[in-house]
Amino acid sequence: MIYSPKEKHDIISGLANIFLVLGAILLVIHLLAPLLGGKLLINALVIYGSWIGFALCMKYEARRIKRKEKMNARTHLPIVAYGMFCMAIWISYPYNLVAMLFYLLANLFAFKTEQQRHNKLKGENA
Please tell me the distance from the alpha carbon of residue 70 to that of residue 122, in angstroms, as a whole number: 11
How many domains does the chain divide into?
Answer: 2
Per-residue pLDDT at 113: 86
User: Of 69, 88, 105, which residue is a domain's last?
Assistant: 69
Backbone angles phi and psi of 92, in degrees to 5: -70, 165
Q: Is the pTM of this model over 0.85?
A: no
Same domain for 47 and 79, yes or no, is no
Same domain for 52 and 80, yes or no, is no
Please tell me the distance from the alpha carbon of residue 60 to that of residue 12, in angstroms, as a whole number: 10
pLDDT tens, position by position, 64-81: 888 888 888 888 899 999
Provide the terminal-to-terminal Cα distance of the chain, rounded to the nearest Å: 28
Same domain for 59 and 11, yes or no, is yes
Same domain for 101 and 83, yes or no, is yes
pLDDT at position 123 over 80: no
Range of the domain at 26: 1-69
Same domain for 1 and 61, yes or no, is yes
